[in-house]
Amino acid sequence: MINLDKENIQFIENYLENSNIFYADIRMEMTDHVASEIEHLMELEGTEFYGTFKSYMVNNKAVLLENNKKFIKGADKSILKRLWIELFKLPTLLVFGLIFFTCSKWLATIDVENLRHYMSLFPVLLIVPFCIVYVFTIKFFKIPRFSGIERLAFVYMICFQLFHFVSSFAGLYVQSKSNFYIAALIMATIAILSLLIIKITLKIINQYRSDYKHIKS
Amino acid sequence: MANSKLYKGSLVTIILKLLNESDKMYGYEITQKVKALTKGELKITEGALYPALHKLEAEGLLEVEVKKVDNRLRKYYRLTEKGSKETVTKLQELQEYIMTMQVIVNPKLSLE
């Protein structure tokens, strides 16, 4: 049984990293797969490492890069699915109700003219806690680039653009106090989605910290 | 290899079945095991296998363990309790599918 040495493994890992497979979790699994296949081929054909690696990559590099895209797409889908599941849990609905009620009461105390400013500021206010949690935990725990964590930030940035657009549009659209419940509904939806993304961020970071404790940044 | 589209829908069942028979397995091991069991008839590509494994992991059917083996890190997959239950259901569904196909493809044989 042929086992590749540390230098060979590092060579494969560096090669994959230089081929834009930059997420540590995806690269780790790919490195093991490629190394296992190369060991198998070396044993079968009696060839040396570099020759086998070169011929393997000539035949499989395009497939590996395509797989990388599939893995990233899978990570995005998984995050959105988690968000969807969390959205319909009883505690989420209760918090949503509470935020909606609070927003309705608060909006009743402000002028129609001020609503536009508050609405456009609201998503910006909510991105701050996410950024603090995200940056602080990643820096504090020295977490490398994991697909689930980075794609989560990507998903939030997309959501933020959407929140900002909807919120600003609602601020312009709602012209009378009798329609303030629409503004409260939008605020509650944005707030609950932001809170859920923070909750999922912490869960994913914890999961990565426990599953991938061997990977150093 | 025979028509791979016919096997595509059974990939998850194949993964669950293999994991049900052993304590834990890693990606490459699964591909090799399938290749050996089917005498090379069925080759699971990494492009199909890993997304399926990650999906099962996200659904809570599999749990992972990362270990240092042979100078590198290896991600092992293991069935969770939910995964074991799902394996029974999936295998049952596959059996029913095979029986139904048998009735269509070879009606005489299925009547006997």
Mean local confidence (pLDDT), A148-156: 87
Query: Is residue A81 one of the residues assigned to a domain?
Result: no
Q: What is the mean pLDDT of residues A165-180?
A: 78
pLDDT band at B2 (very low <50, low <70, confident <90, very high): low
The CA distance from A112 to A173, in Å, is 11
Does residue A199 register a pLDDT over 60?
yes
Q: Model confidence at B111, in pLDDT bands (50, 70, 90)?
A: low
A138 domain-assigned: yes
Q: What integer pLDDT is reported at residue A27 of this predicted model?
A: 93
CB neighbour list of residue B64: distance below 8 Å, 6 or more residues apart: A211, B57, B75, B76, B77, B78
**Hey, which of B6-15, B36-45, B66-75 has the most confident mean pLDDT?**
B66-75
* Best CA proximity match to B34, nearest among B50, B20, B17, B51: B17
Residue B60: pLDDT over 70: yes
Whether A101 and A202 map to the same domain: the answer is yes
pLDDT number for residue A152: 87
Q: How confident is the model at residue B87 (pLDDT cuts 50, 70, 90)?
A: very high
First and final C-alpha spacing in chain A: 31
Number of domains in chain A: 2
Same domain, A185 and A94: yes
- Quote the CA–CA distance of A4 and A2 in Å, as a whole number: 7
Residue-level pLDDT at A217: 59
A101 and A179 co-located in one domain: yes
Q: Would you call A74 and B66 a contact, using CB atoms and an 8 Å cutoff?
A: no
Contacts of A81 in chain B (CB under 8 A): 58
**Assigned domain for A161 exists:** yes
Q: Based on the fold, state whether residues A124 and A59 are members of the same structural domain.
A: no
A186 and A99 share a domain?
yes
Per cent of chain B over pLDDT 90 is: 54
Q: What is the pLDDT of residue B4?
A: 65
Is A32 within 8 Å of chain B by CB? yes
Considering only CA atoms, which of A92, A110, A82, A131 is closest in space to residue A180? A110
Look at residue B110 and tell me whether its pLDDT is greater than 80. no
Q: Which domain holds residue A136?
A: 88-211
pLDDT at position A70, please? 86
Question: Per the confidence metrics, is the pTM higher than 0.90?
Answer: no
Delimit the domains of chain B by residue range: 4-111
Report how far residue A20's alpha carbon sits from residue A45's, in angstroms, rounded to the nearest whole number: 30
Residues of chain B with Cβ-Cβ distance to A8 below 8 Å are 71
Confidence class for position A135, pLDDT limits 50, 70, 90: confident
Q: What is the pLDDT of residue B109?
A: 63
Give me the pLDDT at residue A75, please.
Answer: 87
Asked if the C-beta of B74 comes within 8 angstroms of chain A's C-beta atoms, the answer is: yes
Identity of the residue in B32, B50, B64 whose CB atom sits nearest the CB atom of A67: B50
For residue A145, what are the CA distances in angstroms to A21, A61, A202? 11, 22, 15
Count of CB contacts below 8 A, A vs B? 71
Stretch among A14-18, A210-214, B13-17, B19-23 having the lowest mean pLDDT? A210-214
- Give a yes or no: residue A1 inside a domain: no
Q: Do A66 and A173 lie in a common domain?
A: no
Instruction: Dump pLDDT digits (tens) for A71-123.
Output: 888 888 888 988 999 999 999 999 999 999 999 888 888 887 788 788 888 88
- pLDDT tens sequence across A18-66: 999 989 999 999 999 999 999 999 999 889 999 999 999 999 899 889 8
Going by pLDDT thresholds of 50, 70 and 90, the confidence category of residue A159 is confident
Over 80: is that where the pLDDT of B112 sits? no
Q: Judge whether B46 is closer than 8 Å to chain A, CB to CB.
A: yes
Query: Which stretches does DSSP call E strand in chain A?
Result: none
Mean pLDDT in residue range A139-159: 86
User: What is d(CA B26, CA B64) in angstroms, rounded to the nearest whole number?
Assistant: 9
Q: What is the pLDDT of residue A18?
A: 94
Structure tokens that stand for A96 in this block: 């949503």
Task: Give the ipTM of the model, two decimals please.
Answer: 0.85
Indicate if A120 and A159 belong to the same structural domain. Answer: yes
Q: What CATH number should be reported for the domain whose range is B4-111?
A: 1.10.10.10
Q: Do B27 and A9 touch (CB under 8 A)?
A: no
Q: What percent of chain A has pLDDT over 90?
A: 38
Note whether residue A79 is domain-resident. Answer: no
Residue B35 CB-half CA count within 13 A: 11
The span from the CA of B40 to the CA of B20, in Å, is: 22
